[in-house]
Amino acid sequence: MRCQLEYPNSIAALVASALAHFDSHFTPYLACFQSRTRSVEEAARLYLHGLCQCRRRNLEKMAETVSGSQYQRPHHLLSESAWNRSGVRRQLIADANAHFG
């Protein structure tokens, strides 16, 4: 997937790089989106791609922009799914500390 926003060149390069390396960045978070019986990993992946690709960050625009996305999946992820929000926060803190010190 490629970024469809018009960012200044330096920001566009960062967004393009993040999307190109998305799987390696997302891997540590996978366990946060899985339960014993269900996984919302794909909905989370599509939602995060939408955040990077859409100027107007609403679920309808994201579903239109991101290939393979549908409005219902990220909506369910955000409103109904039981995923490990505290695990995501812990991993974000660990990533930020590793990156920024």
Tell me the average pLDDT across 87-100.
93
**Residue 2 resides in a domain:** no
101 DSSP assignment = -
pLDDT of 30 above 60: yes
The C-alpha atoms of residue 21 and residue 5 are separated, in whole angstroms, by 18
DSSP 66: S
The whole domain housing 80 covers: 9-100
What is the count of structural domains for the chain? 1
pTM of the predicted model as reported, rounded to 2 decimal places: 0.74
- Cβ atoms of 44 and 83 closer than 8 Å: yes
4 occurs within a structural domain:
no
Q: Which of 9-23, 24-38, 68-82 has the weakest average pLDDT? A: 9-23
The verdict on residue 3 lying in a domain is: no
Instruction: Report d(CA 13, CA 50) in Å as an integer.
Output: 17
Residue 74 pLDDT > 80: yes
In angstroms, how far is the first alpha carbon of the chain from the final one?
A: 30
